[in-house]
């Protein structure tokens, strides 16, 4: 099943996979994020946050409501439409880019842009743009051969000293199943491999389990890294 079929199944009420809909979980994640990135009221300019492979993650809208400037990207149009629907406030302007390969939805607040397109495709307008990144399971959804390209894009888009909040799954039998996914079971060393984030980011903190999952034998763990 491809990602489009997967999202169609999710949005029609099928298997939710690893979606998190609990507001309590989102607030806990936000608290960790703000602890390291800082709150909007502490900055003269709203920090810009990149949310890759975001699907319809409610955290994108929550970050926007807290005053951050958010940019998300996902390959599946129906997922992005569902995310747009969480913004009950304001309206959207549609822009088609890259000869039709990318659609950008611009919110009239000026603080939200939702891309429909390939997250691994280079985008000059995003280079050195973001103060922070919020990644819920994006890295953990990628096969090993895709991770280097993904981390390269994130490095390009992050400003120096940008902080990256990452959530990944950690399975109890990690060593036995770490190559089976998605979602893949991941530890610090997987993130910080030189082929991944290790080449241009420093490890700041391991957060341990950030909230409980309904899936047995699996934890949702958090990590903070920083662009060098």
The predicted-structure confidence for 12-24, as pLDDT tens digits, reads as follows 666 656 667 889 9
- pLDDT for 18 equals 60
Instruction: Count the Cβ atoms, other than its own, within 10 Å of residue 18.
Output: 18
Residue indicated by tokens 């747009």: 84
Domains of the chain, CATH where assigned: 23-39+46-227 (3.40.50.150)
- pLDDT for 172 equals 94
- pLDDT for 87 equals 95
Give me the residues of the chain with pLDDT under 70, please. Answer: 1-19
Q: For residue 218, list its beta bridge partners.
A: 171
- pLDDT for 42 equals 81
How buried is residue 222: exposed, middle or buried, by Cβ count under 10 Å (0-12/13-18/19+)? buried
Measure the CA–CA gap between 144 and 134, rounded to whole angstroms: 20
Radius of gyration of the chain (CA): 17
- pLDDT for 194 equals 97
- pLDDT for 5 equals 62
> Residues with Cβ < 8 Å from 45, sequence gap 6 or more?
none
- pLDDT for 8 equals 64
Contact predicate 10/17, CB 8 Å: yes
- pLDDT for 6 equals 64
- Chain segment 117-131, per-residue pLDDT in tens: 999 999 999 999 999
């Amino acid at each position: 099943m491809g990602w489009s079929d997967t999202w169609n199944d999710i949005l029609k009420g099928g298997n939710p996979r690893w979606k998190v809909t609990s507001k309590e979980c989102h607030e806990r994640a936000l608290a960790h994020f703000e602890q390291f990135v800082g709150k909007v009221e502490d900055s003269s300019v709203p920090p810009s946050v990149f949310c890759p492979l975001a699907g319809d993650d409610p955290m994108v809208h929550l970050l926007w409501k807290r005053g951050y400037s958010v940019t998300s990207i996902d390959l599946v149009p129906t997922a992005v439409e569902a995310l747009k629907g969480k913004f009950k406030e304001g309206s959207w302007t549609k822009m088609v880019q890259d000869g039709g390969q990318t659609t950008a939805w611009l919110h009239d607040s000026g603080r939200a842009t939702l891309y429909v397109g390939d997250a691994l495709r280079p985008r000059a307008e995003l280079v050195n743009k973001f103060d922070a990144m919020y990644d819920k399971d994006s890295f953990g959804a990628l096969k090993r051969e895709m991770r280097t390209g993904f981390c390269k894009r994130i490095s390009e888009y992050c400003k120096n000293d940008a902080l990256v909040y990452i959530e990944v799954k950690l399975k109890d039998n990690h060593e036995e199943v770490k190559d089976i996914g998605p979602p893949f079971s991941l530890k610090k060393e997987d993130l910080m491999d030189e082929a991944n984030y290790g080449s241009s980011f420093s490890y700041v903190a391991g957060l341990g389990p950030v909230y409980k999952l309904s899936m047995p034998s699996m934890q949702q763990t958090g990590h903070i890294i920083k662009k060098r």
